[in-house]
Amino acid sequence: MKALIIGATGAVGKVLVRQLLCDDYFTEIVVFIRSEWDLNHPKLIAHIVDFDAIETWKHLIHGDVVFSCLGTTLKQAGSKLKQKHIDHDYVVQFAQYAKSHQVSNFILLSSRGASERSKFFYSQLKGKIEHAILSLRFSNTVIVRPSLMIRPGTDRMGEVISAKILRFFNRVGLFRGYKPIDVFQVASRMRIASKNDYCRRLIIENAEI
């Protein structure tokens, strides 16, 4: 199976790429990245692209399954408009070309609480992305909704503190749906879900990852 990945250099994307390279089910891994990457492997093909000029490289979007791990934070983007452009527009445009090129499977990394009706910007944005992807009607669409994701060895104090607080509440029976989850586990769930060709539409919540 030929896998296409956007967001390959992110926390989940990096782990997912390495898992796919070690999985014999996947014969070719194609990543679309914005700058040089030092990872080399016989199964790996890396295309350095400009997501604002997708028309110039849309012909490269051919394969069996798309893994979308692309996303940013409001702080990194600088504004809500820029975050929407990256998280929503880049992903949806890529998905549209994938669909038109007969890619049959789409695996989307979303977020717990994603809903178009949410009053929170991030959750509403993720909900709009999900709606756009589902409306394309791929043969199989899988949406993975993790809560707070933990990267081993992270030095982000906000992430570390949030995880500790959530784990404390989890131990006393509160907020179990928001249990922190390791990025390795998220990537593994996406990889495994892509092999099930019978799930026309599947949403995997945090507790099921």
- Domain assignment present for 99: yes
In a domain, 176, yes or no: no
Q: Is 202 a domain residue?
A: yes
Alpha-carbon distance of 64 to 194, in angstroms, equals: 10
Determine the structural domain holding residue 59 and report its residue range.
2-147+182-208
Does residue 77 lie in a domain region? yes
Give per-residue pLDDT as tens, 29-44: 999 999 998 899 999 9
Q: Which helix (H) or strand (E) holds 165?
A: helix 157-171
pLDDT tens-digit profile of 110-151? 999 999 999 999 999 999 999 999 999 999 999 999 988 886
**DSSP label at residue 86:** I
- Residue 209 CA to residue 204 CA, distance in Å, equals 7
In CATH, what number is assigned to the domain containing residue 11?
3.40.50.720
Q: How confident is the model at residue 156 (pLDDT cuts 50, 70, 90)?
A: very low
Whether 201 is covered by a domain: the verdict is: yes
| Tokens matching residue 20 | 């796919």
pLDDT tens digits, one per residue of 49-92:
999 999 999 999 999 999 999 999 898 999 999 999 999 999 99
- Report pLDDT for 170: 52
**Distance of CA 142 to CAs 31, 97, 134, 157, 188, Å?**
19, 18, 9, 31, 13
Tell me the pLDDT tens digit for each residue of 170-205: 554 544 556 778 999 999 999 999 998 766 899 999
Q: How many domains does the chain have?
A: 1
Q: Are 103 and 63 in contact (CB under 8 A)?
A: yes
DSSP 88: I
Q: Give the per-residue pLDDT at 70.
A: 98
Is residue 175 assigned to a domain?
no
Q: Yes or no: say if 202 and 190 are a contact pair by the CB < 8 Å rule.
A: no
| 157 within domain boundaries | no
Q: Are 118 and 183 in contact (CB under 8 A)?
A: no
* 107 domain-assigned: yes
